[in-house]
Amino acid sequence: MKPSGKTLSSEGTAKNALRGSSEGLYAAFGEVKSLRDWLTDERCRVSESVLKSRMRVGVVQPGDDIENLLTQPKRNATLYTAFGESKPWPEWRTDPRFTVNENSARYRLKSGWEFEKAISVEVQTLPEYSAFGESKTLKEWLLDNRSLVDEKNFHLRRNLGWPIEKILSTPIRKQRTLSDEYQAFGESKTISEWLKDDRCLASRTTIYRKLDSGDSFEEILRSTVPEFFYDAYGESKTAKEWLDDDRCSIDNVTTLVSRFNSEFISNEDALTEPPCYNVSHQENSLADFISRFIDIERSNRSIIAPYELDIFIPSMNMAVEYNGLYWHSEKFKHRNYHYDKYIACKEKGIRLIQIWEDDWILKRPVVEKMVLNRLGLSDTGTVYARKTTVDKEVSLGEAKKILTENHIQGFTTASYRYGLRDSDGTLVAVLLMKRLSGEVKWDLVRYATSCNVPGGFSKLLKAFRSDHDGAIKTFADISISNGHLYRMTGFREIEVLAPDYHYVKPTTLVREHKFRYRKERFKLRDDLEYVEGLTESELASLNGLYKVYDAGKIKFSLV
């Protein structure tokens, strides 16, 4: 179909007729249209942002001819392949085979879709969920009288694996507060009032834990924690009595009891907080692995006294620490312990690597590769960056594989996945960038290699920056990195972030991100106990969780 528009007798006539026009019309292909109309014209080969940028540079006025601006390809434009053809995005946008909304297509690409499917597969209708012998959309179920949940709880329960019918029909648990009233001894009082009553022998935590036990409230109030006696220095006392003893250096009863109950230390050691209580089987296995490749020293307490170095490698002036989750939690280590140990080593010129228990157990092959790489003893081979080619559209599957096998944090989503391929086409390095809003445009979220790739990071960084403008930020995890790679490639250190914490469940011994246990999450999740008025830390303690602090992070920026 022939595009509509006013026909000009000549370029000069168009300029004279339209220059200074308040309508904002522009000439091209012998026609005159508004900028918005030109952007939807099939002959326009650039995006709105590119066109407006070109117009600003060229100081274009209404009435000017913009044909070159509309048709000149963007320099270094990324080509996308579909249906056996490769074209830049603006050309695909006007292709009749591009059948979905542009925003939907871009979102699909960020989510890992292949380009051809992202632009051609029709948008699906809202999913339906089956329950009570019927199938409905979520919005329809939420309006159904049989549904007892809201949308937040629906998704939360579904993520936990609940059957749909159970999700809909299970009432949301009543949230408890200190103002809730309960009857006992022929009286009715709030929990807050009962806690002050002399007949109440239970703690607040005990009351909340027993409310679902089936016991009467009066029985709950009479609940007491049995007193246990612990022997030390030839004496027998309760934990509270030992806490008041001058020979005890522990400052809270919970920590003291957990030490008394440990099978690895004596009660005398439990009272005096020794620097390390147990050389675990897993720490031994880490030390045994390293010792197969290089000479090591164990449990060195002199180099950075009073701290102990679990594994010291004299020939490399390097140390490896094994952080057991329980013994390195807030119960035994203050929040800056791991950072302070890093600083103590740094001041002695020692490079410290801190290995966490769950990483060693669950990701041992990745940790072994990382340790050998830090020691310069990796046997994975070498591919020089100058002999590789850049791939600007690494598939989701390939990126996930190389990151899962070679990065301690594994895979994550990103806006762009750049990679390096060797002469055989094998992916040997991958760089992931996530788009940000604000002054800093990009977050470098992952870099990993499957072998030694000298110059690989700088080559990928240069390739990305040639295609995308804007400042880049990234972080180095002090537990395993000193940020040397970033400094060598032009990044500037911005700040050192204070140690942050994860939560650990005693039943799993796996660190979980603190966002999973924000106060609002306790309120929404039926598998967690929630009490109105408690802080996040108090709720975590109520649910048996404890905090483990890392060593902090170093923030870098490249402008």
Which two three-digit tokens encode residue 50? 């590119």
The count of domains in the chain is 7
Q: What are phi and psi of 124, to 5 degrees?
A: -75, 155
Q: Which of 486, 50, 552 has the alpha carbon at shortest distance from 340?
A: 552
The pLDDT, as a whole number, for residue 522 is 84
Q: Do 164 and 180 share a domain, yes or no?
A: no
With 0-12 / 13-18 / 19 or more C-beta atoms within 10 angstroms meaning exposed / middle / buried, residue 226 is exposed
> Do residue 84 and residue 159 come from a single domain?
no
Report whether 440 contacts 470 (CB < 8 A): yes
Is residue 105 classed exposed, middle or buried when 0-12, 13-18 and 19+ CB atoms within 10 A define those classes?
Answer: buried
Q: What's the angle, vertex CA 139, arms to CA 137 and CA 144, rounded to 5?
A: 95
Domain end, chosen from 157, 191, 221, is at 221
Q: Do 89 and 135 have their domain in common?
A: no
Same domain? 165 vs 195: no
pLDDT at 358 over 60: yes
User: Do 107 and 32 share a structural domain?
Assistant: no
* Most confident among 187-201, 261-275, 317-331 (mean pLDDT): 317-331
% of the chain residues with pLDDT over 90? 38
- Same domain for 447 and 394: yes
- Domain-located, residue 459: yes
Q: What is the reported pLDDT for 7?
A: 40
For 43, phi then psi, to 5°, come to: -85, -10
Closest CA to 409 of 537, 494, 502: 502
Domain membership flag for residue 215: yes
Burial readout 57-93 (b: 16 or more C-beta within 10 A, e: otherwise): eeebebbbbbbebbeeeeeebeebebeeeebbbbbbb
Joined together, the tokens standing for residue 199 give 């007949």
Q: Which amino acid is at 494?
A: I
Are 244 and 266 found together in one domain? yes
Most confident of 39-43, 138-142, 256-260, 407-411: 407-411
64 & 86 share domain:
no
Where in the sequence is the domain holding 100, given as residue range(s)?
79-120
pLDDT (0 to 100) of residue 170: 83
Q: Decide if 181 is inside a domain.
A: yes
Query: Within this chain, do residues 436 and 506 fall inside the same structural domain, yes or no?
Result: no
Q: What six digits make up the tokens of 62?
A: 């209404």
- pLDDT at residue number 444: 98
| 320 occurs within a structural domain | no
pLDDT by residue (tens digit) across 319-347?
999 999 988 998 889 999 999 999 999 99
Phi, psi of 24 (to 5 degrees): 70, 45
Does residue 332 form part of some domain? no
Q: Do 505 and 447 belong to one domain?
A: no
Backbone angles phi, psi at 334, to 5 degrees: -70, 165
Residues 389 and 453 in one domain: yes
Residues in the chain: 559
Strands 309-313 and 318-323 come out as: antiparallel
Rounded-to-10 torsion of CA 150, 151, 154, 156: -110
CB atoms within 10 A of CB 137: 13
In-domain check, residue 334: no
- Is 546 domain-assigned? yes
Contact of 351 with 313, CB cutoff 8 Å: no
**Reduced to 3 states, what is the DSSP secondary structure of residue 461?**
helix
Let me know if residue 322 belongs to a domain: no
Tokens of 389: 């080619």
From 154, 169, 184, give the residue that closes a domain.
169
pLDDT digits (tens, 9 = 90+) for 239-267: 878 888 888 877 666 567 767 765 556 78
Closest CA to 115 of 70, 81, 153, 73: 81
Residue 490 backbone class (left: φ over 0; alpha: ψ -120 to 50; beta: rest)? left
